[in-house]
Chain A
Amino acid sequence: MRRPLDLLSKGGLGCLLALVAFALGSTVDLAGDPDAIVGPRLAPPGPEWWMGTDNLGRSMLPRVMEGVGTTLLLSCTAVLLTAAVSAAFGILAGYRGGYLNEVVLRLVEVLYSFPAIVLAVLVAAVLGPGQFAALASIVLVTIPLMTRLVRAAAVGVSQRDYVTAAVISGARLPRILGRHVLPNVAGTIAVQGTYALSVGISVEGGLSFLGFGVQPPQASLGVLIRQGGSYMIAAPWLIIGPGTVLVVAILAINVFGDGLRDRLEPRETRSLT
């Protein structure tokens, strides 16, 4: 029996969808042009600018909307890349074992040994600051854990009788991996994907905050917090807005991820004994 998601993780999913809708609003300039100067500088929240204005007199609301969009899009793209790479290597290493397994595990351990933000700064230093550096950083930071867990799940699945049955029926490797192993580790990939997404959001935030990630004038949550940081005393709304959104996004994703994990894992086959 599949249990439905519990209330908390449903709330998390709702929050996440609301944030996506919020971000999509900026694509149609729902709250105005994020780059337009609309009022006085550093004005507190008011009826014309619900989240206040920044040091150039731009309304914060459309900027936060754009920022969430940038951050989510960047993180989601990175997580999809991570999932693809981790699934491929994790499944192959877990199923084949031996030499390939050792190489994959050692490479992953090297990546794992770097603290996330140090690795991200390193990547930015090599690739040059920008969106691409942020994307590559998120991928490299999230690959190790996901690869390891997918590999572990694949090792378990590979020993199951249905995989052996597929082998004995003469199935080729792509079919065994694609039709039998992948669907049975998909739950692990999905759950780890949600965690990778929240890690991705914080890596983007951190890297852009340091100035190595997304570059102004394009807004992202990290960029907005960096810009607001200079006026923290005079205009705290500049960091409260994007900061709150960042916290809510990460919290919502983690809560949803927990619910997803409870539902999908551990997904043991029912045994008769």
Chain B
Amino acid sequence: MSPLLVVDRLAVDYRANGRTVRALDGADLEVAAGETVGIVGESGSGKSTLGAAIGRLLPRTARVDGGVIRVAGESLFELAPADLRRVRRERLGFVFQDPIASLDPTMRVGRQLTLVLGRGTGSGDVAAHLDRVKLDARTARSYPHELSGGMAQRVAIAMAMAGEPELLVADEPTAALDSQVREEVLDVVFSLAATTGTGIIWLSHDLAAVARRCSRVAVMYGGRVVEQGPAAEVLGRPAHPYTAALAGSAPATAARGTRLEPVPGRPPMLTGPSDGCSFAPRCAFVIDRCAHERPPAVRVGDQDVLCHRAGEPATIGQGATT
């Protein structure tokens, strides 16, 4: 059986004022039906672009420079408008970062839900969908500005999940929320997705939080997925130097008294396809070929890793997370 989502060597450029910025530089990703995948990366690593590309929601300044995305076998960039609409409606759901902005300020919550649910929806259906995200039926009569951030995000989740999509893309859904509300909202998303069999792609920069919730983790760097595999493996035995550095710099995973290791240097700003490994300038294990040879995907344990030195003993994954 083919996976639900296949992203194959996707490259996306942004062009503005004569400048080109490469946001995705050959990203690969596979998500099976019902799977929960966390995509982790720094700002500018391309994770939001990847998320938008999965819904074919890239802004006008973006240009796909190669690669394909298949949703349930259908190539997204080749679909006719009507088919694209069908794929979006039946298979995809999106939750965004700013919950208030993802609701239309001119409409009551119930009305918006009714629009998403389609014709012939009664107030009972709206109440049922609100109940699925643990909201009172009275919320339907509120305008978005009357809701708290957590409530608004639940409404947004209810709307995204209303069509029981096969894949829910959540782009940092809790970044704008208070830390107490975060876990509640995540509980709602993951339990609801589990009951409907919806797969989740959760974009975040919090490696540890993602690893706790998701079965698989993909780490992005410089527009590529540099490591993907089972969450526990990626976090516990990172095979890519960047993942190892990321795990070592996360406050949540560090034991008390251990020094956090920042990742040295800054993330790259690509203007075209990178010649070699984009992490090479910051990498502690860099060798000559890293600078001018793009690393192919290598299998290390249960992980797929883009690194020339992956799998070499006594290098990566030893120091950083002990």
Contacts and interface: CB of A to CB of B under 8 A. Distances in A.
A269 B144 contact: yes
Interface in A134-191: 159-162, 164-172, 175, 179-180, 183-184, 186
12 contacts: A97-B60, A161-B98, A162-B103, A165-B159, A169-B159, A170-B88, A170-B89, A170-B90, A271-B98, A271-B101, A272-B176, A273-B98
Interface string B62-95: 0000000000000000000000011011101110
B115 A175 contact: yes
A161 B115 contact: no
B163 interface: yes
A165 B105 contact: no
A165 B171 CA distance: 12
A47 interface: no
A267 interface: yes
B241 interface: no
Interface of A: 97-98, 159-162, 164-172, 175, 179-180, 183-184, 186, 267, 269-273
Query: Which one of A180, A186, A267, A269 has the greatest number of beta carbons of chain B within 10 Å?
Result: A269
A99 to B, nearest CB: 12
B100 A184 contact: no
Interface in B83-134: 85-86, 88-90, 92-94, 96, 98-107, 112, 115-116
Contacts of A170: 85-86, 88-90, 163
Nearest to A273: B176
Contact of A267 (B60, B94, B105, B116): B105
Contacts of A175: 115
Interface of B: 55, 57, 59-60, 85-86, 88-90, 92-94, 96, 98-107, 112, 115-116, 144-145, 149, 156, 159-160, 162-163, 176-177
Given A171-B115, A272-B176, A273-B176, A161 B92 contact: no
Contact of B104 (A159, A162, A270): A162
A171 B88 CA distance: 9
Contact of A165 (B60, B90, B145, B160): B160
Nearest to B96: A161
Contacts of B149: 272
Nearest to A157: B104
Contacts of A167: 55, 57, 88
B182 to A, nearest CB: 13
A172 B84 CA distance: 11
Contacts of A271: 98, 100-101
A162 to B, nearest CB: 4
Contacts of B98: 161, 271-273
A151 to B, nearest CB: 15
B163 A169 contact: yes
A165 B88 contact: no
Nearest to B112: A162
B90 to A, nearest CB: 8
A180 B105 CA distance: 9
A27 to B, nearest CB: 36
Contacts of A97: 60
Nearest to A164: B57
B86 A165 contact: no
A122 B163 CA distance: 56
A165 B94 contact: yes
A220 to B, nearest CB: 38
B55 A184 contact: no
B176 A162 contact: no
A43 to B, nearest CB: 56
B107 A183 contact: yes
